[in-house]
Structure 1
Amino acid sequence: MTGWWRVVLLVVLVATVSTGAVLWSTWMPGESVRGPLAAPDGETSALASVLEADVRALAEEIGERNMHTDGSMAATVDWLEQRLGAMGVTPERHVYVLQGGRWAGERAVNVVAEVPGTRAADEVVIVGAHYDTVPGSPGANDNASGVAVLLALAAWTRENPQARTVRFIAFANEEQPFHQTRDMGSEAYVRDADETGDAIAAMMALDGLGYYSTEPGSQHYPYDWIRWFYPERGDFIGFVTRTRDANLVRQAVGAFRRDATIPSEGAALPAIVPGIGWSDHRPFWDAGHAAFLVTDTLPFRDPQYHRRGDTPERLDYDRLARVAIGLRGVVEALGTPDGE
């Protein structure tokens, strides 16, 4: 065989392997919703009103929520405790001490509430969403939308307990300057949970769930090649994780699509791809736990990401409610022990 043919075969082999790897990473079970959305039913409309009220309470009544803004984190914790208590889910505070920077020695609070499992209570599924914002932003989409859905799922699970314990956590300090440091709320939480020996079966992070657009070209991606496998319109909700947790994200997408009334996409890509690890699931990966992110893709879609314009009136509460209802099926799937 000549050297030229060896080069041709090598190129074909590399292309075949690369294509196979991409197809493996992007294939998800079930069928996504296509075409115009069906009219919302009464439950969806009612839930949309609740979600909007929660987003407005966080983004308008409290506003910017971070360590830079005096009293804002404490006010948010109080509000979360009131909301959880009103739905019959008893909240607890996971308090940790900040270790670096200008706030070293101060305390931060993760708000935790759980619904005990009915048959496998020692196995824990964690649903998390950060409640803080970047300085200067009211954070309606990032991440009042995630917190609102977390509360909706907690209320539903309170009435529909699962075999496994489902633990709902509103995390502090996901944003800079704490992002991916020991002072990130989820980092501190998983560190303490591992020390106490919690059996974490899976973790689902909710981060930016409320901004959608049906305009062509409204959806962007970190690499150009990704757009060949996913929509150009930002009208879907995304499920993403690292390649190691592909089976988990496929389970989640399959469960979501069984009853979903909104488009959905999933991906299990290398953790180095920008955006794949940019939320509270990352510390769970680092601690060896399977975890994934549910998101509208935030900076790859939302023009007001981390800006003052991230305000409540921009969000699509009908679609947000559809996401929350679809995620009930994901909680059911994750809440079922392996083998059942």
Structure 2
Amino acid sequence: MHITKKSLQLGLFSCMVLTAAFPAQASAPKTAEPKNLTVYMEQVMGSGYYRNFKNVRELNRVSAWIREQMRLFGIPCQYQSYKVNDEAYRNVVCSLKTAHAEKVIVGAHYDVFEQSPGADDNASGVAGVIETARILAEEKARLKKSVDFIFYTLEEPPFSRTEDMGSYVHAKSIEKQRGNIQGIYILEMIGYFDPNLVQQYPAGLKWIYPSHGNFIAAVGNLQSRELTADYCSAMKNLNQLQCERLISPAFAQNMDFSDHFNYWEFGLPAIMITDTGSYRNKNYHSDQDALAELDAGKMAQVVNGLVHAVLKE
């Protein structure tokens, strides 16, 4: 994940309270398991090899493990391969198909910055997508859309903000499907929470928004503002983590700090769900970004909100 200090200046909006996603008489969907999230993160992080762009072998290990884990849920995957500087890299594209032509996309990048272990950035996001897939596969009969789960390569520098990003490659590949894509949810750093921490913001925002570091943020543009509202509403209805919204005009600069922006470039409705990254996590892009620093219980709440938002689609 790459965040600039200007990137949040357009404002966070508190989530709106909407009607419950499911009638009282309907049984509630299954919920996320913190222990599952921990196991997924351990598998993604491996035994200490850095999954950066220089270590293609490790990237391939992670992508192969993801594909196999998704297969165990009954969700088939394929690699979306492409070359950068004569080296082959690959996204993992997994499809939970229903009878509906319309689809929702849930994604996260699996590479890391330089020699960071990348627990929060972004093993947490990958684990969140996998656990979301597990639950939705079991709740398939409730789905009103098909769901694609995408795991991206090359999100981090030196490829961030370039057409070599895995998410750019994927966004371009689905441009002609725009009419069928109802929403895209990108999970980017969802594991770091500290109610005693003083949350950081760009100048001027700290007087308006939470002073603590114990909320999840939904980042969208004007086209995707309803997705941010639906997600924060699901969190509110489930009595999960506090949820805050950031809404940016589609033409705004300095909002290209993760994979969601590449979908905006192709006119697709996408949001990022995040713990705010470097504005909160002091271990961002460092060798201290470790599993022990994360809260799997709160990550599970983030996933529960996403499951409800997708099922409501």
TM-score computed with the length of structure 2 as normaliser: 0.86
Query: How far off is 1:247 after superposition?
Result: 2.5
Aligned with 2:274 (options 286, 292, 295): 295
Larger RCO: Structure 1 or Structure 2 (Cα < 8 Å, ≥ 6 residues apart)?
A: 2
Task: Give the partner amino acid of 2:17.
Answer: G
CA distance 1:195–1:247, change in 2 (3 Å): closer
Note the alpha carbon deviations across 1:101-140, whole angstroms, 9 max, x for none: xxx132211111111134xx22121101000001111100
Aligned length: 290
Contact 1:62 1:72 (C-alpha < 8 Å) held by counterparts: no
Query: How far off is 1:70 after superposition?
Result: 4.5
**Aligned positions of 1:99-248 closer than 5 A:** 104-118=85-99, 121-161=100-140, 162-195=143-176, 199-217=180-198, 219-221=199-201, 223-248=202-227
Task: Give the partner amino acid of 1:317.
Answer: A
Aligned with 2:80 (options 77, 94, 97): 94
Query: How far off is 1:202 after superposition?
Result: 1.2
2-structure distance, mates of 1:273, 1:227: 21
Q: Residue in 2 aligned with 1:15?
A: none
Note the alpha carbon deviations across 1:240-281, whole angstroms, 9 max, x for none: 11234322311222233221422211121346475x431111
Runs (5+) with no aligned partner, structure 1: 1-21, 32-42, 99-103
RMSD value, Cα: 2.1
Q: Does 1:307 align with 2:286?
A: yes
2-structure distance, mates of 1:311, 1:65: 14
The SS at the match of 1:153 is: helix
2-structure distance, mates of 1:237, 1:297: 8
Note the alpha carbon deviations across 1:128-182, whole angstroms, 9 max, x for none: 1000001111100000000001000111111112111110000111111111111
Which structure's residues are more often helix, by fraction? 1
The SS at the match of 1:215 is: strand
2-structure distance, mates of 1:180, 1:122: 31
Runs (5+) with no aligned partner, structure 2: 1-9, 19-29
2-structure distance, mates of 1:300, 1:216: 11
**Aligned positions of 1:240-259 closer than 5 A:** 240-259=219-238
Aligned with 1:52 (options 38, 55, 59): 38
Contact 1:109 1:185 (C-alpha < 8 Å) held by counterparts: yes
Which structure's residues are more often strand, by fraction? 2
Task: Give the partner amino acid of 1:28.
Answer: C
Identity of aligned residues (%): 29
1-structure distance, mates of 2:240, 2:139: 21
Contact 1:260 1:323 (C-alpha < 8 Å) held by counterparts: no
Note the alpha carbon deviations across 1:179-234, whole angstroms, 9 max, x for none: 111110010011112256772221110000000111141x111x222222211111
